[in-house]
């Protein structure tokens, strides 16, 4: 039997980020499709290969990781500022129960205590950071996400505070350094 390189999909809701990791892209796609039936979920990123999957997990720091692999996948290196909950999915599991299992895992993870000094970007904050790095104005971002410019400003302020940055130029530089935008 041939070993497969892992694949992953990063999904986000308004508040949380979820990762699906499997040994085959088809498995990731199938599980992703089950979650995307719910309009609250959106696909943020897809990764292929051990290095890309590990980097995606380190960057997005999902609250819940759905593990649909036969072997354990190591957690990303470095400090984790959120408690990661692993939901293990087996081939014999019922697809109809998958979305509710993910929701239950999210609720369990949210109920766990988190270090009060922890800082991580939400899925929406990550999306807005990417738009800022692409040179989009507050009004353009607001239109793209159907939110008010004030809400965009609040997100940008939260991002700057969490990343300890002082202006948009630093946000752009940070996003470029993280590979989220090209220079």
Q: What are the residues whose beta carbons fall under 8 Å from the beta carbon of 3, sequence distance 6 or more?
A: 23
pLDDT at 183: 61
pLDDT at 138: 94
What CATH number should be reported for the domain holding residue 165?
A: 1.10.10.10
CB atoms within 10 A of CB 1: 4
Number of independent structural domains in the chain: 2
**Do residue 50 and residue 91 come from a single domain?**
yes
**Do residue 102 and residue 15 come from a single domain?**
yes
pLDDT at 182: 66
Asked if residue 22 lies in contact with residue 30, where contact means CB atoms within 8 angstroms, the answer is no
Question: What pLDDT digit, counting tens, does each position of 61-100 carry?
Answer: 888 888 887 655 444 443 344 445 777 777 777 887 888 8
**Do residue 104 and residue 48 come from a single domain?**
yes
**Do residue 131 and residue 75 come from a single domain?**
no
**Do residue 75 and residue 134 come from a single domain?**
no
Q: Which of 111, 141, 165 is the last residue of a domain?
A: 111
Q: What is the mean pLDDT of each run of 10 residues along the chain (183 residues)?
A: 76 87 89 91 92 86 81 44 64 80 78 50 82 92 92 91 85 80 66
Ramachandran category for residue 22: left, alpha or beta (phi over 0 → left; psi -120 to 50 → alpha): beta
pLDDT at 136: 92
pLDDT at 118: 44
Q: Which of 61, 76, 111 is the last residue of a domain?
A: 111
User: Model pTM?
Assistant: 0.57
State which residues form the domain around 146. 123-177
Tell me if 118 is assigned to some domain: no
Asked if residue 46 lies in contact with residue 58, where contact means CB atoms within 8 angstroms, the answer is no
**Do residue 107 and residue 147 come from a single domain?**
no
pLDDT at 142: 93
pLDDT at 140: 95
**Do residue 88 and residue 61 come from a single domain?**
yes
**Do residue 79 and residue 161 come from a single domain?**
no
Q: How far is CA 154 from the centre of its chain?
A: 20
């Amino acid at each position: 039997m041939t070993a497969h390189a892992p694949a992953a999909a990063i999904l986000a809701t308004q508040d949380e980020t979820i990762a699906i990791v499997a040994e085959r892209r088809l498995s990731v796609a199938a599980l992703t499709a089950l979650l995307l039936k719910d309009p609250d979920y959106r696909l943020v990123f897809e990764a292929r290969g051990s290095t890309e999957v590990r980097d995606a997990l380190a960057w997005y720091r999902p609250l819940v990781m759905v593990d649909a692999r036969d072997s354990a996948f190591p957690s990303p290196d470095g400090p984790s500022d959120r408690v990661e909950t692993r939901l293990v999915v087996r081939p014999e599991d019922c697809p109809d129960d998958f979305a509710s299992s993910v929701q239950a895992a999210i609720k369990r993870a949210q109920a766990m205590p988190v270090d009060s000094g922890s800082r991580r970007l939400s899925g929406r904050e990550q999306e807005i950071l990417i738009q800022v790095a692409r040179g989009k104005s507050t009004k353009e971002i607001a239109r793209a996400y159907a939110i008010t410019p004030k809400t965009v400003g609040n997100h940008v302020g939260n991002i700057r505070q969490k990343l300890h940055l002082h202006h948009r130029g630093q946000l752009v530089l940070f996003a470029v350094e993280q590979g989220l935008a090209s220079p």
